[in-house]
Amino acid sequence: MAGEYEQDAVPIGAIRLEAATRSFNVQVDSGRTLKELLLRREHRGGPEAVPALRGVDLTIDPGETVAIVGRNGAGKSSTLRVLAGIVPLDSGRVRIGGQVAALLDLAAGFSRDFSGRENILMGGALYGLTRRQVEERLEDMIAFSELGEFVDLPLKAYSSGMLVRLAFAIVAFLDADVLLIDEVLAVGDGAFQRKCEERIAAQVASGSTLVLVSHDLALIERTCARTVLLDSGRVAADGPTAQVLSEYRHLLSGEAAPVRGTNHPAEVAAAAAAAGGGAEPPSDHEEPA
Ligand SMILES: Nc1ncnc2c1ncn2[C@@H]1O[C@H](COP(=O)(O)OP(=O)(O)OP(=O)(O)O)[C@@H](O)[C@H]1O
């Protein structure tokens, strides 16, 4: 049974996620034997379902500021993708009210052969703005991005920080009712990060709902009143940010090893600080896909 995604079935700015489940099929290739490789035989193992969300319930009211935290692979990005309507649910229901602006996978939303200016024009249309509305905001968006002459060069020539500037400049002037932001702010430089934070704060002050996924616990403390802790695709805690982050730090400091890969360096540092120790972040940190 497929899950449901309904827009405008709840008040503007509200989010309702009910019993959300989602798995991803991953081709497992580790069991291939040397004989199979030498004889070029097909390996019999099929795709394996990796559960990302296992029955997540989330009720967010208009104007709330909510952070989602959790270890690598906990299901944070999957939750945002489901809320943005990019990834459908296997079962459960998403309802979201009003216009949604998502800053998730930057590369996915852009055309690399077109200039920044052209991408703004196309991006605005994707978010439901008319050509005229985008043109009215174009100069403000370009000024916000501080891309200078790069705005007329193809995106192939952009650094990842420049892509963030472009993406944020579009989202910053959409006046969306719901803002979904995944970690992207971390790629911009310090000055631009502060500018983005100020812009987000202004949008929240004007009534937008914010859902932020980040490993930057200080950013969360500054930005979000409420935090949801995910663990292995389930909600492990949901409440005031100070309380849930304290639980999360406790979880991180008490664990010997993460679920998969290494901990994010910011989390390791936070856990070390919480434990009063001086643990160094792992040098061979790797981000899972
Ligand atoms: N497109 C995909 N294909 C296969 N597996 C996926 C895909 N997206 C997510 N997963 C799997 O779903 C689980 C949850 O992933 P998700 O990216 O939501 O975690 P996360 O909490 O955002 O992790 P991180 O902190 O590392 O970004 C992981 O086991 C991940 O491997």
72 in ligand 1 pocket by Cβ < 6 Å?
yes
pLDDT at 211: 97
Whether residue 74 has its Cβ less than 6 Å from ligand 1: yes
pLDDT reported for residue 186: 76
The predicted structure's pLDDT at residue 278: 38
CA distances from 165 to 125, 155, 191 (A): 18, 12, 11
**Whether 164 contacts 107, CB under 8 Å:** no
- C-alpha pair distances (Å), 101 with each of 14, 44, 82, 248, 253: 14, 43, 13, 28, 34
110 in a structural domain: no
- Our answer on whether the CB atom of 163 is closer than 6 Å to any ligand 1 atom is no
Atom of ligand 1 nearest to the CA of 53: 14
Write out the two tokens for 265.
């360096």
CATH number of the domain to which 234 belongs: 3.40.50.300
Q: Is residue 46 situated within a structural domain?
A: no
pLDDT of the residue at 185? 74
Residue 88 lies inside a defined structural domain of this protein: yes
Which domain range does residue 184 map to? 14-21+51-99+178-189+213-256
Q: Is residue 224 part of a domain?
A: yes
Residue ranges of the chain whose pLDDT lies below 70: 1, 28-46, 107, 255-289
Residue nearest to atom 18 of ligand 1 (CA): 75
Within a domain: 250: yes
Of 76, 104, 220, the residue with max ligand 1 atoms within 8 A of its CB, to mutate for a pocket test, comes to 76
Residue 123 confidence (pLDDT)? 82
Ligand 1 nearest-atom number relative to CA 70: 21
In a domain, 276, yes or no: no
Predicted confidence at residue 166, as pLDDT, reads 92
Distance separating the N- and C-terminal Cα atoms of the chain: 27
Q: How confident is the model at residue 130, as a pLDDT?
A: 84
What is the DSSP code (8-state) at residue 281?
A: P
Q: Is 184 part of a structural domain of the chain?
A: yes
pLDDT reported for residue 44: 57
Helix residue spans in 13-152 (DSSP H): 34-38, 76-84, 116-126, 131-145
Q: Give the residue ranges of DSSP H helices in the chain.
A: 34-38, 76-84, 116-126, 131-145, 160-172, 190-205, 217-223, 241-254, 265-275
Q: 229: Cβ below 6 Å to ligand 1?
A: no
CA distance 286 to 20: 28
Instruction: Verify whether ligand 1 is closer than 6 Å to residue 258 (CB atom).
Output: no
Q: Quote the pTM value.
A: 0.82
Give residue 126's pLDDT: 76
Q: How many domains does the chain have?
A: 1
Nearest atom in ligand 1 to 78's CA: 18
Sheet (strand 47-60) strand order: 4-7, 91-96, 15-27, 47-60
Q: How far is the CA of 86 from the centre of ligand 1 (A)?
A: 14
Q: Which atom of ligand 1 is nearest to the CA of 79?
A: 18
In a domain, 240, yes or no: yes
Nearest CA to ligand 1 atom 11: 52
